[in-house]
Amino acid sequence: MSRPDTLHLFSSSCSRSFEIITLLSLRLKMAAIRSCVEFLLLATVALVHTADPSLATENVKAPFVGLKHLDYHQDSPLHDAHTTFVERIHTSVRRSEARASAFRSIVAAGITPRGTHFDSTVEVSSKAASSFQSAVSAAPGGYIMSISLGSPPQTRTAIADTGSDLVWLQCAPCSVCFRQSDPLFDPRKSATFTRIRYFSPLCGELPQVSYDGGFCTYRYGYGDQSTTQGDFALETLTLTAIDGSTQSINNFAFGCGRRNQGTFAGTDGLVGLGRGAISFTEQIGSRTGSKFAYCLVDAGTSGSEVSPLIFGDSAAETGNALNLSYTPLIRNPAADTFYYVKLNGISVNGQPVAGIPANAYTLNVLTGRGGVILDSGTTITQLVQSAYIRLLTVLQSLIAYPQVDGSPVGLDLCYDVSGVSSPSLPSVTLQFQGIDVVLPADNVFLQVDAQGTMCLAFAGTSDFSIIGNIQQQNFYYLYDVENERVGIAPLDKCAALASTAASTGGLLDEL
- 298 in Cβ contact with 473 (< 8 Å): yes
Detail the DSSP E strand segments found in 114-245: 116-117, 143-149, 154-161, 168-170, 194-195, 208-212, 215-221, 227-241
Residue 444 DSSP code? T
In terms of C-beta density within 10 A (0-12 exposed, 13-18 middle, 19 or more buried), how is residue 171 classed? buried
Contacts of 183 (CB under 8 A, 6+ apart): 154, 172
Backbone phi, psi, residue 370, to 5°: 85, -165
- Alpha-helical (H) ranges within 310-384 are 313-321
- List residues with catalytic annotation: 161, 375
Beta bridge partners of 216: 211
In terms of C-beta density within 10 A (0-12 exposed, 13-18 middle, 19 or more buried), how is residue 318 classed? buried
Q: Kindly report the three-state secondary structure assignment for every residue of 469-485.
A: HHHHCCEEEEEEHHHCE
- 259 in Cβ contact with 176 (< 8 Å): yes
Cα angle for residues 230, 118, 276 (degrees, 5° grid):
65
Alpha-carbon distance of 159 to 269, in angstroms, equals 6
Report CA-CA distances (Å) from 453 to 14, 104, 338, 411, 471.
61, 31, 34, 11, 19
